[in-house]
Structure formats: structure tokens, C-alpha cells
Structure 1
Amino acid sequence: MQHMWAPWRIDYILGPKPDTCVFCIPEHTDEDEERLILYRGEKNFIIMNKYPYNVGHIMVMPYEHTNCITKLAADVTHELMDLLQLSTTIIKKTFNPTGINIGLNLGTSAGAGIREHLHYHIVPRWDGDSSFMATFADVRLISEHLQSTYAKLKPSFDTLPQGV
């Protein structure tokens, strides 16, 4: 048997679990870098996935705590789509992936890990990025530290106008 070491996961495993939704983030805080927030719009924000499927995995979501896409107001939905498009452009420019997955999982049976607060995933993909590790060992390799990825992405998001 082979062992894969991921010592950074112990903080999540042993750390305190919030009693509230992890995606209900205050609209104004000085903890954006710590929380991996890349951009704040008027109705939505962009955040890195703390437990990514791949390097550059980000999420776009409304500030509003809802799991029902049909209840979002039109202005929230429009800004959400604008931010998905802008994020895709930035991901392409920054990482040059050969493909991108964009998805929304509504409900546990649809694969939502955090079903209480809807969020879109944007995951850059490269030919062979899953390799044998995911297939045979049920292990996904992330080749870059989250803070390094944040440092690469943040300047591009800082150039976006407020209230896209």
C-alpha cells in the first residue's frame, strides 16, 4: 500500500466547523485574502475553492443565501453571468487551459457539497490532468499552493470595474 501525504488537510479535519453557511460572507471585510476572495461585485462575489479539483478552481456566487436559482432577482442573475464570463476570460489568460468546466450543482443528489448556498464552479482543465492518480489511487494532485494561485489571479480581478 502506498501513502499520500496531505498535511494541510488536518487544519480542516480538526478545525472548528462553522455553525453558519461558509459562503455567507460579509459584503465588507478586511479578510478577503485570507478568505481567498478575488472580486466583490454588487450582488455576487468570486472566491477560490479552498479544496480545489484543479489549480485555478474558482467559484462565483451571490451574497444572498439561497439554494434556488429561480428565486434570484434578475439583476443578481445578470451580474452572476457577467462574472462567470469575466472569470473564464481571466482563467484562460492566466493558466492557458485546454478546457474549462463550468457547473452548478443544485441539491445533494446533483453533487452539491454545500447545498444551502448556490455557487458556480469554474475549473480549468488540461489534457491528462487527471492522470493515473485519480483513476487508480482515488487521489487528485494539485500542483500549486493556494496562495500562489491567488497571487496569480488577484491582479487580473483587481482590474475589473466595480459593479460589473
Structure 2
Amino acid sequence: MKILWAPWRSTYVSNSSKNKLSECVFCDVIKKSDDRENLIVYRGSKSYIILNKFPYNPGHLMVVPYRHLSSIELLDDEEYKEIFYLVKKSLSALRKLYSPDGFNVGINIGRSAGAGIESHVHVHIVPRWNGDANFMPIISNTKVISDTLDNTYIKLSKMLSEHNEEALDH
């Protein structure tokens, strides 16, 4: 059996286990008005797009419904349609900005499935490049992220808002 080490995730995992928030981070962040500070790159009518504060790769973002629901089947049809429209819109924007070789798109439902925030369903979109898993995390406990969250925020929010009028035309 081979083991894949991901030590850069230990900060996230240890914080999510011991810092149980009295309120959901996704519900809390959407109430705040400073989208840039809170990494919200786009607000739709039923859901929003937010950068992952602990990204696996540059451009790692999440599409999140406003309603606090634990699983995808609990979404109403309009929420479901908008979430997957925003996934599509995000993929297009990330392709233009970063030219990745592929993507991981996923929904972790429940802690045993890897959900860090299991009470509020969300869709992860992670751009991937050939060779993006390299030796740095293994030999130096370092994950190389080639762009800052601030630069990613600026580029993505601009691109996603350029076609704001099309956002609900699905």
C-alpha cells in the first residue's frame, strides 16, 4: 500500500475539529458586506461563489447555496439549477484565467465523505495541472500555491461579474 501525504492540510483539519463555530461559516460570511475580505467572488440569487481559504491549488473555489442545507437532494429546483450554472460559469472563468489541464469538481456529503463543513453543502472546484502534485509537500512540508488569494480574487471576481446580466439567464 502506498501513502499519499498531504501535510499542508493539517492546519485546516485540526482547526475544523477543535473550533466548532456556534454559527455556520458559510451562513456567517454571506451576512458580511466586504466580499473581498471574505473571498466571495460572485453573488447569485440562490447561491454564491467563494474562494477556498485553504486551497489545494490556485483558483480552488466553492459554490454554496444561501440556505443552510446538509445535502444536495434538499435543494429546491431553482437552487440546484443556479448552483450548477455557477459551477459551469466557474469552470469557464478558471479555464480562461489559469488554463488548467483538468478539474476536480466534487461535493462531500457528511464527515466520513470528507466534508469539512458537513452541515452546509457546497461544491468544490479545484483546477489541476499535469504534475501539480510534486515533491515539495513530502520533503519540506510545503505546498506551492502559485497565486495569492488576493490576486485570484481580483481576477475571478472581475471575470465573473463581467457577464453578471447573464447570471440568471439559465
**Shorter-chain TM-score: which interval?**
0.7 to 0.9
In structure 1, what residue type is equivalent to 2:50? Answer: I
Structure 1 residues 143 and 27: CA distance shift in structure 2, 3 A: closer
TM-score normalised by the chain length of structure 1? 0.84
Aligned residue type for 1:58: L
Q: 2:123 aligns with which of 120, 123, 128?
A: 120
| Counterpart in the other structure of 2:3 | none
Q: Within 2, Cα distance between the matches of 1:96 and 1:106?
A: 29
Distance 1:121 1:46 in 2: 10
Which whole-Å deviations, capped at 9, do the CAs of 1:55-106 have from their partners, x for residues lacking one?
Answer: 0101001000011211110010011111100100000001000111100000
Classify the secondary structure of the residue corresponding to 2:80. helix
The range that moved more, 140-149 or 65-74, is 140-149
Q: 1:15-62, CA deviations, whole angstroms, 9 ceiling, x for partnerless residues?
A: x87421000146564211110001111100000001101001010010
Structure 2 residue 73 is the aligned partner of structure 1 residue 79: no
What TM-score results when the alignment is normalised by the length of structure 2? 0.81
8 Å contact kept, 1:130–1:140 = no
* 3-state SS of paired residue (1:131): coil
Instruction: Point out where structure 2 has 5 or more consecutive residues left out of the alignment.
Output: 1-7
Return the match for 2:99 from 92, 96, 99: 96
Q: Secondary structure at the match of 1:155?
A: helix
Which residue type is aligned with residue 48 of structure 1?
L
**Structure 1 residue ranges, 4+ long, deviating more than 3 angstroms after superposition:** 25-29, 134-139
Considering only aligned residues, what root-mean-square deviation do their CA atoms show, in Å?
Answer: 2.3
May I ask how many residue pairs the two structures share in their alignment?
153
Note if 1:108 corresponds to 2:111: yes
% identity of equivalent residues: 42
- Higher mean C-alpha deviation, range 115-124 or range 140-149: 140-149
State the distance in 2 between where 1:161 and 1:145 align. 24
| Greater helix fraction, Structure 1 or Structure 2 | 2
Q: Map of 1:20-39 to 2, 5 A cutoff?
A: 20-25=23-28, 29-39=32-42
Seen in structure 2, the aligned counterparts of structure 1 residues 137 and 32 have a Cα distance that, compared at 3 Å, is same
In structure 1, runs of 5+ residues without a counterpart are 1-5
**Aligned-partner Cα distance in 2 for 1:157–1:135:** 35
- The match for 1:55 is 58
Between the aligned partners of 1:25 and 1:83, the Cα distance in structure 2 is 21
Contact map agreement 2:29 2:38 (CA 8 A) in 1: no
